[in-house]
Structure 1
Amino acid sequence: MSLTRFFLEKQVLSNETDETFVLQLADDDAKHVSVLRLKEEEHIAVIDAQGDYFECAIVGFEGKLPIVRIALHVDSVAARPYVVLAQGLAKADRFELVIRHATELGVSAFIPYASKRSVVRIAASKEQSKRERWQAILKSAAMQSGQQSIPSILPVMDTVQLAEWAVHANGILICWEEADFTQTLHNALLGMDCSSFMKESPLIIVVGPEGGLEPTEVDILRSSNEASHVISLGSSILRTETAGIVAPALALYELGQLGGTR
């Protein structure tokens, strides 16, 4: 049975000198402890502020915060490929559905992409509150699915801003419904150095909104980086929220995640 997982924002457990100590959880996580009715001697998984993994046993409580002892410490976990999904902004809760499920798959960061055909437009005055809501969704999905870290949500970007941000990426996959069926994700990744997809040099997957990308947008993104590839996801016409889940799933599998063997 998998352990309930918590992420620490500031606390580094290797710095704790006492055998037992208070786990400095965020307020929402402390409430989660109460909701789950966690008890003494139950074990939980903790990822501290340095990204180290600990299995901790609860020995008591200080208010709503658990007092724990370390039962197991794993110094580091093998790094996963750093995949960024630039997802076209979509109607209703479709964007939130994508980022939740893509987090469960192992996507590392998200860019809300304001393409020309995006019906949804986010006012600058509302962007911060939107990003806070999205970040909470990412945290919940990361905890539920046992991720190594909580993905980040970057600022909203238009095509030019995305192209500028993508200059240092080690690969860009532009999903486009007008691409030839032979332009597959598999073939695109064969030509990339897949061992070097890190935070500073990620793999970026671009998915357009309802209505897809305009040809001029594809040209701008393609010309931004020599390692960019326009790809097809097959003959089926996918909704933006479907493509936003299928594309990273295929990429992560090709990169040896999700049961892949690379």
Structure 2
Amino acid sequence: MKLDYQFKTRVYSESSLDENSIIKLSSKQSHKLVNVLRMKTSDDIIIFNNISGEWSAKIDVNKSIVSVECIKKIRNAKKEAGPSLIFSPLKQARSDWLIEKATECGVESIYPTLMKRTSVRNVNIDRYRNYAIGAAEQTGRLSIPEIQPLRKYEEQLEICEKLNKTIIFCDELRMSPIIKEFNNNLNASDVVIVIGPEGGFDDTERDYVQTNIENLIECSLGPRIYRAETAALIALALFQ
């Protein structure tokens, strides 16, 4: 069932939200509402975060700054119970797209990871987070995925192992078993999907998971070899 307020503009805020509280939006958010969406004083929006939940609100425009008054709570806070993703950073536009679409698919945490064949070895975590926020505002989810710091492959896997996650290792060289054979038997929030870089996994990375990861499922995404960002979205979508 679709929500009856689905067409209202949604805005994410880290401020505490409560009845009649007044929230001053950032200059970037204000610019979008006033100059892009052409909104004006007393227009209705939705404001939300993963602690205070989601609120109906009205805006007040004072020159170039927008303030928001919370009117009524619509939904309580809710953490996204989706899979997590380990991926190798891509060129900027492709990474931006991946972060956005992964958020739309309900990803819980995102782990940018340095692998043997990673070509982009520096990332902007704040940029990733901004794309995740934009996607959350668009899709109606209440939480923003946690963007982990860039770390080495072994470090990210060790962190996930300590969280008792099941590692879904999507290997482009495998033909079977197919990943969709497992999605109905696992809780999405217990899963970390591992997608290789452009050029694929190095054999040492395959050896590492086979030797060191206890809760490991090695699988295929099917008969085709996909681009990294496409592979991530296919895998995430199966755990909706």
TM-score (norm 1): 0.79
Read off the aligned partner of 1:3 and give its amino acid letter.
K
Cα distance, 1:44 vs. partner? 1.1
Q: Residue 83 of structure 1 contacts residue 107 of structure 1 at CA under 8 Å; is this kept in 2?
A: yes
Structure 2: runs of 5 or more not aligned: 1-5
Structure 1: runs of 5 or more not aligned: 253-262
Q: Pairwise mapping of residues 47-196 of structure 1 onto structure 2 (< 5 A)?
A: 47-48=48-49, 50-58=51-59, 60-62=60-62, 64-77=65-78, 79-122=79-122, 127=123, 130-167=124-161, 168-181=163-176, 183-192=177-186, 194=187
Q: Residue 50 of structure 2 contacts residue 144 of structure 2 at CA under 8 Å; is this kept in 1?
A: no
Q: Deviations over 1:37-58 (max 9, x none)?
A: 2224432111146141112234
Q: Deviations over 1:184-223 (max 9, x none)?
A: 223334553x17x2xxxx4211101111112321232344
Q: How far apart, in 2, do the equivalents of 1:3 and 1:169 lie? A: 39
Tell me what 2:40 maps to. 39
Q: Residue 22 of structure 1 contacts residue 68 of structure 1 at CA under 8 Å; is this kept in 2?
A: yes
Return 84-93 or 172-181, whichever deviates more.
Answer: 84-93
Read off the aligned partner of 2:97 and give its amino acid letter.
L
Identical pairs, percent = 26
Displaced runs of 4+ in structure 1, greater than 6 A? none
CA-based RMSD? 2.3
Q: Residue 51 of structure 1 contacts residue 149 of structure 1 at CA under 8 Å; is this kept in 2?
A: no
Structure 1 SS opposite 2:181: helix
Relative to structure 1, the CA distance from residue 209 to residue 51 in structure 2 (aligned partners, 3 Å threshold; closer, same or farther) is farther
Q: Residue 53 of structure 2 contacts residue 73 of structure 2 at CA under 8 Å; is this kept in 1?
A: no
Return 133-142 or 88-97, whichever deviates more.
Answer: 88-97
Q: How far apart, in 1, do the equivalents of 2:101 and 2:180 lie? A: 22
Tell me what 2:8 maps to. 3
Read off the aligned partner of 1:132 and give its amino acid letter.
D
Aligned length: 232
Q: How far apart, in 1, do the equivalents of 2:128 and 2:80 lie? A: 22
Structure 2 SS opposite 1:251: coil
Q: Residue 112 of structure 2 contacts residue 148 of structure 2 at CA under 8 Å; is this kept in 1?
A: yes
Tell me what 1:227 maps to. 215
Structure 2 SS opposite 1:93: helix
Q: How far apart, in 2, do the equivalents of 1:166 and 1:75 lie? A: 28
Q: Residue 21 of structure 1 contacts residue 68 of structure 1 at CA under 8 Å; is this kept in 2?
A: yes
Q: How far apart, in 1, do the equivalents of 2:28 and 2:158 lie? A: 36
Relative to structure 1, the CA distance from residue 190 to residue 144 in structure 2 (aligned partners, 3 Å threshold; closer, same or farther) is closer
Relative to structure 1, the CA distance from residue 69 to residue 54 in structure 2 (aligned partners, 3 Å threshold; closer, same or farther) is closer
Read off the aligned partner of 2:29 and give its amino acid letter.
D
Relative to structure 1, the CA distance from residue 51 to residue 214 in structure 2 (aligned partners, 3 Å threshold; closer, same or farther) is farther
Q: Work out whether 1:238 is the aligned partner of 2:239.
A: no
Q: Deviations over 1:72-117 (max 9, x none)?
A: 432345x542321111122352222211111122112211121101
Cα distance, 1:236 vs. partner? 0.9
Q: Residue 107 of structure 1 contacts residue 248 of structure 1 at CA under 8 Å; is this kept in 2?
A: yes
Q: Deviations over 1:138-180 (max 9, x none)?
A: 1122212222122221111222112211112332111101123
